[in-house]
């Protein structure tokens, strides 16, 4: 059995993840102009709307990627983006990454909610047996967040990517397996409840 990954909208009370499109570009541009927020991403922040539109087109066209816009339900605002990538259909695995949020939505319940929706869909609807994540070795905040949601640190791929300013980035890999998902789901639900209090 292989994965059948198709564009889909995933919803919760707080947010929805919509297939990324040009109708999200304006909102993404407004949220994605802070250089500090992109320090550990492969590319720099958006410089103008045309740059944002190009990034949307590129994300949609990249083989093995399924990008989403993160939309706040209450006001219908686009607050960031995330995606499935490195989709390995025959091996029933994929990665969750390229996640970023506008400054006002960082350290809120939005990132936890997005991870929950993506993991729930991956394990309970797509039939994944492995979901992985990677973080820049310099990004200790991202690594702590992945451990907080219950992902297991697997190791470091040295000089794994060449990113901004020709920096040779080491990537720290994390994963969640299908047999671990019930425990991880329980922990995520507890984090979601606390965020909603």
Give the separation between CA 197 and CA 193, rounded to whole angstroms: 6
Domain extent listing, the chain: 10-196
The reported pTM is 0.95
The 3 state secondary structure assigned to the chain is CCCCCCCCCEECCCEEEEECCHHHHHHHHHHCCCHHHHCCCCCCCCCCHHHHHHHHHHHHHCCCCEEEEEEECCCCEEEEEEEEEEEEHHHCEEEEEEEEECHHHCCCCHHHHHHHHHHHHHHHCCCCCEEEEEEECCCHHHHHHHHHCCCEEEEEEEEEEEEHHHEEEEEEEEEEEHHHHHHHHHHHHHHHHHHHC
Q: What's residue 32's pLDDT? A: 97
CA 111 to chain centre: 8
Q: What's residue 131's pLDDT? A: 98
pLDDT per residue over 21-66, tens digit each?
999 999 999 999 999 999 999 999 999 999 999 999 999 999 999 9
pLDDT tier at 1, thresholds 50, 70, 90: low
Is residue 197 scored above 80 in pLDDT? no
Average pLDDT over residues 88-107: 94
Token pair in block for residue 162: 């060449």
pLDDT per residue over 123-167, tens digit each?
999 999 999 999 999 999 999 999 999 999 999 999 999 999 999
Q: What's residue 195's pLDDT? A: 76
Q: What's residue 178's pLDDT? A: 98
Q: Are strands 10-11 and 15-19 parallel, antiparallel or unpaired?
A: antiparallel
CATH superfamily of domain region 10-196: Gcn5-related N-acetyltransferase (GNAT) (3.40.630.30)
| Residues 81, 99 contacting (CB under 8 angstroms) | yes
């Amino acid at each position: 059995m292989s994965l059948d990954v198709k564009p889909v909208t995933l919803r919760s009370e707080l947010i929805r993840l919509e297939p990324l499109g040009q109708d999200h570009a304006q909102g993404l541009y407004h949220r994605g102009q802070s250089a500090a927020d992109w320090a550990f991403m492969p590319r720099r922040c958006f410089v103008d709307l045309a740059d944002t539109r190009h990034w949307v087109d590129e994300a949609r066209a990249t083989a093995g990627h399924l990008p989403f816009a993160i939309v706040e339900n209450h006001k219908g605002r686009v607050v960031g983006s995330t995606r499935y990538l490195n989709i390995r259909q025959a091996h029933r695995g994929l990665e969750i990454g390229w996640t970023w949020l506008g400054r006002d939505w960082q350290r809120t319940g939005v990132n936890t909610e997005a991870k929950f929706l993506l993991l729930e869909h991956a394990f309970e609807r797509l039939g994944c047996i492995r979901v992985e994540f990677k973080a820049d070795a310099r990004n200790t905040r991202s690594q702590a967040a992945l451990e907080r949601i219950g992902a297991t640190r697997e190791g470091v791929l040295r000089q794994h990517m060449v990113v901004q300013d020709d920096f040779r980035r080491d990537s720290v890999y994390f994963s969640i397996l299908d047999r671990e998902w019930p425990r991880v789901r329980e922990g995520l639900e507890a984090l979601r409840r606390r965020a909603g209090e």
